[in-house]
Chain A
Amino acid sequence: AQSVAQPEDQVNVAEGNPLTVKCTYSVSGNPYLFWYVQYPNRGLQFLLKYITGDNLVKGSYGFEAEFNKSQTSFHLKKPSALVSDSALYFCAVSGSQGNLIFGKGTKLSVKP
């Protein structure tokens, strides 16, 4: 069965510092991986995806993610965090017919 794991419930970062939100995956075959962000009382917003190709994927709002096949990881990164980046972040893997399988989420808190 396909799954993703987000080992951290919360990540705290100071504004201007780099941030990393971790995700590991377990799939049979090639992984199709996604990151979404959720602000309070809102739906999920698509940030980026990995299908194939370059291991460094660039997405919206300055976010990027690094795919590492040997470590089965797909960590989300940003060089300089903003207070407005504070939100809930979800890693997901695509099932065989397109359904998304989500991790439990990581709360990112960026302090001024």
Chain B
Amino acid sequence: DADVTQTPRNRITKTGKRIMLECSQTKGHDRMYWYRQDPGLGLRLIYYSFDVKDINKGEISDGYSVSRQAQAKFSLSLESAIPNQTALYFCATSVERGSTQYFGPGTRLTVL
């Protein structure tokens, strides 16, 4: 079984809809991250969390919110989706400062 899972794997929605992307991990890591991937731009950090009570904005947080429901779960929400939020979204986890980040399989989101 995968250590980091994301649901759904693919989603098509319409402008203005609220969308939630979910991430779960069985690695026991405290740190979790949400990234967005656009063609030619690599991955960019949206939000990150170092534990259940600690959530921080990343490089491109506008239009997104997150919830850390438990050590193993970290959700990303788009309150009112817009077409330029069409992208591949990745969740990642890590153990501690300086450690490698391990990625989930990604969610492809299309906003029409």
Whether both chains belong to one complex is answered with no
